A and B are shown apart, each in its own frame.
Chain A
Amino acid sequence: MVHPDLLQQASLLVQQIGPDLDVESFSQHVVREIADPSRGASRKEWSDIEGPLRGIINTLRIKVQDDVADALEKALSTLQSRRLTDSSAWEGEMAIKMGNLPDHIHFLLSLAQPPTSKTTRIARSYLDKASPSGPTADEVLYQVIMSGPFTGAHWGRGYEQEATHGWTDSESSSSESDADLVTPSTDRISRTADLETLLRGRLIQDQEDRLREAQRSLASFKEKYYWINMGQSFEPLSAHTHGWRSLATRSTTAQLEAAISKSSRIPRKVISSLALQRELLFALDGRPGILFFFDEDGACQILSGHPLVAHMSSAALSSIVDHFANQATIGSRIRRFVAGTASSSAFSSRKASQTSKTHQAFADALQEILTSYAEWIGGNEIGLLRGVKVDEDRSTPAASPMSLKLDLDRHFGTLLSRLDSLLPKPGDPPTDLLNDIYTTILSLPASAAELSEALTRVFIMSAEPMWSMLCSWLSEGMPIPSGLRYHDDTRVSLTDEKPLDKEFCIERDRDISWTDEDFWANGYVTGSGGWPLFLGERTEEMILEAGKARGLLQSFDNAPLKEDWQTLFQVLNTSGDRLLASTVPDLIFDHLSPTCRLTMFQLRRALEEDCGLDAHLDAIESLCFMQNHQVMSEWMSELFQRIGSKRQWTDFQTLSSSIREIIDQHGGTLMNPSALRIQAKKARNTTEKVFDTMRHVRAIYDVPFPLSQVLTPTSMELRSETFSVLLQLHYASHVLAESRKQDAVFISHARTTIDIRSIWQLRQQLNWVIGIFLSWLSRDVIESRTEQYRREITAITSIKGMIDLELRFARLVHRLSLLHPDVEALRAQLSSILELTTTLGKVYSQYMNDTSVASTFQPERQPFAPSKKASNTRRERHFEGDPLSDDEESDQEAELIEGDSSFLLAEDFGARLKFMKNQLGTTIAGMIDTVRSLAEGPDRAPQSAEDDAREQWAMLSMYLDEWHRFQSEPTPRVQAL
């Protein structure tokens, strides 16, 4: 919309320029040109702004940054509402409410940067910002005015409305004191009040008369109540009763039985069947009567000497009474449980804290059934008295005790018996109760559909607390201590996490601390009551993982999962069909698995994006497996030169600081230098064998929490040991390569060409075998397996899966690095070969020392002269920065000779060389046999790291087989090219 001033200004401009022009059309043309965005006008349509903002909101929602999305939506709607308030005032002419302006600006400024956890916090506070509350200015003024004391004239004594008769039918209102009340209208109504008092007096008199009559009638009725007289006495059978007709019409069963048995113990009082039926209903309802009483345990007992039933034998009566006593006991026990447990009872607040929530829920479910039971009893009682059906849903009231029994069995008998058997004791684990109910339902025959339905309802109601805890576990996750939640606060602790509900099926193992590497697996575990059966076995791992993942996400300032959690009833009744208990685990799994997967995905993403899993893995592999060849080769080069010059090299400065400096030179953050260090586990002195010392060198990478749960100290230790092996192999390779620098000197000292070529041959063999091991370990083991590991770990969302994979991988590489006790023999063989490399250097030096001292033998033929290295000019200068100067090298040679092993001093050159060749040959042959047996391994599919390594052992075996070719084929072979 064009500002009206602009059009006006344009009109004035056009008039000034050309009075003859068509002012209107030209003005509009000018305005159009100004407003044209293609000419640089800054104006934008609302849709152009709103569209991208909506897009950002959608993107934020996809990234599950709901808080930021909500906040942005709120800001957008605020903007939109202001726009819609008055479109003409859009240009900023509307009054601005200053109250929330800082919040808007603060939030919008935070969006200028890519969203971080800080942005989320700001968004959250922006969302939660309540509008200014409290009284308005007018209200405050009103309160000030009204707070002053009353100073005006009083209008007199007040009166109660109820004082006027007829206004209320409350009996208490007619107190005598009312007459004393003085009101402004007393005079007006006094006359009608007198009349009404007279009439009321007559009415009361009539009522009292009727009441007295009724009481008289009632007293006469009471005399006939069977429960007062314990039945009605009956006369003995008349002696004149003869024949079946008289017996049937003039006697009762009680009379007959009394006449037949002649027992004095037979009561002489009877009640009618109707009375019996009523007593039975009383008993079922838990009320004592003339037949039953309830003992202290709530068990229904039959009163001795109870009256007979006129037309029922004592055996029949006994059978019925026993049955009902049993049912009444069941009902009573259930009622007592409910009364003792139910959360809804008036005095249960104290008990509720002691009673299990599941038990309470079970009691509530029972209460529901008991209510229905009581209604059924009440219905029968009313029906008994009135003889009519009172409830449309129920069948006709039982007409006799037997029909009552049948009715009871059909509706509640089995159900109550089942429930009675399920009643838990106070200390019983809630999971046991749920399992019992669930298995009871599962064990029901298909025909017991009604019972199954009732029990399922009880089960669902009982399981709701557990379900609620489960939902809480999944939405809030495992409780985390303040130390992980508030990273910046120094007062925080790692032990103050909120306890889980004691009756939850997941519990905290307090023996495991957050810093323990097995915390993820064992910190929170299935409780002692076991995993509830109704959740199904396959959900156990998923739910445990998801809750742990959600808890861990809280430490990344990740909000709890906002989900409208359904009740268990809603979850299990999605289809509306009758629920089959056997399908419960599947329904629950289907319902929970998306949520669990989402949480695990979120954690996986948080581990990658917030914790930098990939970057840490890169750094660890770069260090421990020497995968950053650039940095590690430079570091090793420096280290080996230092070792070569016999300087101290096991100190922190040489091992750790130097690598950090190299990393700094290559870009600082390349391998997270602050987290890594290299150290010799035991302080060694320089006179010890280099390889012995190197065996104790470890590359240590401090993995930050929570990645330390995945990259555990155990796996890091395994990786760091591999570093040691690689270091030794590289050093051996370096020693052999560096020995070439002595070749020229060696040639000049050589007595025979055999000496020269023998030592070169030995060096070539050492070079070959070390090259084989180095390339095999680096390429075929580490590089190949690492690629596979990284592919697999990218696809895993479960932290437990990642932990397992990491440990499996680290153990495999550890084993293939010859570090596992099972391959100790191979490791010893390799160590022997590595030692030979240093021995070779000593032999070189010893030989040259011998020949230079003796200097008696001149070779007949010197095909290698003149030697470039033997020239005197070679010592003229050496470079600054060349750490290994000639002088140092000479010192090194001298020291090597000093440190010679005994065999070097004892034997001559040829014998030494022969000894070394034999040793090398024997060792390599032994290695080949060992590796071949490892490659063949047990004949089964890969199940363990041992089996998994067979492929790599087979590769090594193939490479080493070249030794056999060399050994077995002394004659030249035919060129196959």
Chain B
Amino acid sequence: MGREIISIQAGQAGNQIGAQFWQKLCAEHGISPNGDLEDWAAEGGQGDRKDVFFYQADDEHFIPRAILVDLEPRVINNILSSPFKGLYNPENIYVSKTGGGAGNNWAQGYSAGEKVYDDLMEMIDREADGSDSLEGFNLIHSIAGGTGSGLGSFLLERLNDRFPKKLIQTYSVFPGGADVVVQPYNSLLAMKRLVNNADSVVVLENAALARIAADRLHIQDPSFVQTNQLVSTVMAASTQTLRYPSYMNNDLVGIIASLIPTPRCHFLMTSYTPFTGEEIDKAKSIRKTTTLDVMRRLLQPKNRMVSTTSTKSSCYISCLNIISGDVDPTDVHKSLLRIRERQLATFIPWGPASIQVALTKRRTAGNRVSGVMLANHTSMASLFKRMLDQYDRLRKRNAFLEGYKKEDMFANGLEEFDDARRVVAELADEYLACESADYVDYGT
């Protein structure tokens, strides 16, 4: 009984983050870069479930349930020349034969997906068939560029059609600056698929990641590697209850059920503390931690990996803290009591909600206690509003649309943009509506 999760990493960011994620998982489970189990891990008794993210080949090597997809070969070639080159199943790596990439164009990526559909589905089907009881998919991608955004969107739609009963969770990197001028278009179009086709979206915003690197880790100019390490750390931490089962939240559906009461509002923000030098290269932040310290810091906006603007009425729809390490259960209760006394977290008015805490016994490196927060917060609406604002600014001037019009989807009109805008606007409105006690009556 596996409840396996297949990870699909698409595009440059997706593959770079994915590579870091697998490195971290290998380190935690004691799997060497070539898939062998380390001696200390082979002794057993870890209480981990490697089979959620790995499977064992005939020669007992552990292989990630990962599919690496990119339309240009550079990042995947880097992975294949790294020490972890032997980790992945070569049959699960797809690099476009033309190698031109998607040119930071969502439409190119999406249309490329249609062309490579059979190849990709063959990989996905094979992995799915190799699972005892597939629980769902993880899509790791960025929504600003071409491949992760466009091809990722295509995959979301197709996965949904092909595996309607399986959960789809994404780790989506949202743009933070203006690296790509068409990122408002790409983001909006990808957002429509994230809203309609994903069950849960973990939002990771580049600007917030850079802020955390600068403020919390004192790295003024973080490299991609360092940023990706931040993301992979959060990914690893947020999947800990799946890999190291606890008394609750041992499966994806359980986590989603507790975090996402209304299916549409499924965009989750994350916080992680404390980051250490072992997790992030050259980071200088090691401090004494207690359960209360960790839980308090997780609620601080400056630790969130997405930059949202809270209003007076912003509130949590749900909040799950996954605490790892040497935690006394009574400390959790005391911390929750303190947080409640100081009103550090406000919840929706239309239902009872509170901070849920899951404990995992796995000790994290360096610190006694570490934690990750997965939260559903109404301030996420501000992110969508900002996205719409950026889109509207470009769209008013019909700027940079040439690249899209070349593709079949937009050849006959730009209705798809309008539809995507409507979906995102409705989502933002629904998030705002969640702040009201009359949410049940919203939309009538």
Listed in ascending order, the chain A residues whose CB lies under 8 Å from chain B are 626, 628-630, 633-635, 637-638, 662, 667, 733-734, 736-738, 740-741, 743-744, 747, 752-754, 757-758, 760-761, 763-765, 767-769, 771-772, 774-775, 778-780, 782-784, 787, 861, 863-864, 866, 868-869, 871, 873-884, 886, 955, 958-959, 962-963, 965-966, 969-977
Contacts and interface: CB of A to CB of B under 8 A. Distances in A.
Interface size class of B (residues with CB under 8 A): 35 or more
A873 B164 contact: yes
A933 to B, nearest CB: 20
A629 B250 contact: yes
A704 B333 CA distance: 37
B352 A733 contact: no
Given A760-B261, A886-B165, A634 B1 contact: yes
B3 A783 contact: no
Given A630-B49, A779-B247, A959-B354, A754 B312 contact: no
B254 interface: yes
Q: Which of B44, B256, B263, B435 has the most CB of A within 10 A?
A: B263
A973 B349 contact: yes
Contacts of B132: 881
Contact of A775 (B44, B199, B357, B441): B357
A635 to B, nearest CB: 8
26 contacts: A629-B245, A630-B49, A633-B251, A634-B1, A733-B248, A740-B263, A754-B441, A754-B444, A757-B262, A771-B356, A775-B357, A775-B358, A868-B196, A871-B164, A874-B164, A877-B162, A879-B134, A958-B340, A963-B352, A966-B350, A970-B437, A971-B349, A974-B313, A975-B310, A975-B346, A977-B301
A873 B161 contact: yes
Secondary structure at the A interface, as helix, strand, loop or mixed, is: helix
Contacts of A878: 165
B261 A969 contact: no
A757 B247 contact: no
A969 B340 CA distance: 15
B160 interface: yes
A304 B357 CA distance: 103
A521 B435 CA distance: 62
B107 to A, nearest CB: 20
B258 A771 contact: yes
B373 to A, nearest CB: 13
B257 A740 contact: yes
Contacts of B350: 761, 966
Interface of B: 1, 3, 44-45, 47-49, 128-129, 131-134, 160-162, 164-165, 196-197, 199, 245-248, 250-251, 253-254, 256-258, 261-264, 299-301, 310-315, 328-330, 332-333, 336-337, 340, 342-347, 349-354, 356-359, 426, 430, 435-437, 439-444
Name the residue among A634, A763, A970 with the largest chain B CB count within 10 angstroms. A634
Given A958-B336, A972-B435, 14 more contacts: A637-B133, A662-B1, A741-B165, A757-B262, A757-B441, A761-B351, A764-B262, A765-B352, A768-B351, A778-B248, A780-B330, A882-B165, A975-B310, A975-B346
Contacts of A758: 440
**List of 6 A-B pairs having minimum Cβ-Cβ separation, nearest first:** A874-B164, A778-B247, A629-B245, A737-B257, A764-B261, A784-B329
Contacts of B353: 764, 768, 962, 966
Given A633-B251, A757-B262, A866-B196, A955 B333 contact: yes
B47 A761 contact: no
Contact of A871 (B161, B245, B330): B161
Contacts of B336: 958-959
A662 to B, nearest CB: 7
Nearest to B165: A741
Contact of A970 (B49, B197, B261, B349): B349
A704 B132 CA distance: 36
Contact of A626 (B131, B133, B247, B436): B247
A977 B251 contact: no
A774 B357 CA distance: 11
Nearest to B438: A970
Contacts of A767: 257-258, 261
Contacts of B328: 784, 787
B128 to A, nearest CB: 6
A382 B56 CA distance: 107
B162 A876 contact: yes
A969 B329 contact: no
A733 B250 CA distance: 12
Contacts of B162: 873, 876-877
Given A752-B444, A869-B164, A871-B164, A784 B129 contact: no
A112 to B, nearest CB: 24
Given A736-B257, A771-B248, A871-B161, A975 B311 contact: yes
Which of A638, A736, A740, A886 has the most CB atoms of chain B within a 10 A radius of its CB? A740
B303 to A, nearest CB: 11
Nearest to A627: B247
Contacts of B343: 976
B331 to A, nearest CB: 10
B253 A975 contact: no
B214 to A, nearest CB: 21
Contacts of B359: 779, 783
Contacts of A976: 342-346
A965 B312 contact: no
Contacts of A768: 351-354
A975 B313 contact: yes
A638 B352 contact: no
B437 A971 contact: yes
Contacts of B247: 626, 629, 774-775, 778-779, 782-783
A666 to B, nearest CB: 9
A879 B128 contact: yes
Given A753-B444, A863-B443, A878-B165, A637 B251 contact: yes
Contacts of A959: 336, 354
Contacts of A866: 196
Contacts of B257: 733, 736-737, 740, 767
A591 B299 CA distance: 61
B159 to A, nearest CB: 9
A778 B45 CA distance: 21
B165 A962 contact: no
Contact of B263 (A734, A743, A875, A880): A743
B312 A977 contact: no
Q: Which of A760, A868, A962 has the most CB of B within 10 A?
A: A868
A634 B250 CA distance: 9
Contacts of A743: 263
B362 to A, nearest CB: 12
Nearest to B443: A753
Contact of B312 (A736, A784, A876, A974): A974
Contacts of B357: 775, 779
B416 to A, nearest CB: 13
Contacts of B430: 863
A361 B62 CA distance: 78
Contacts of B332: 779-780
B352 A769 contact: yes
Contacts of B160: 868, 871
A775 B356 contact: yes
A632 to B, nearest CB: 8
Contacts of A970: 349, 437
Contact of B1 (A638, A733, A738, A971): A638
A788 to B, nearest CB: 9
B102 to A, nearest CB: 24
A965 B350 CA distance: 10
B267 to A, nearest CB: 15
A666 B251 CA distance: 18
Contacts of B333: 780, 955, 958
Contacts of A747: 263
Contacts of B358: 775
B262 to A, nearest CB: 5
Nearest to A778: B247
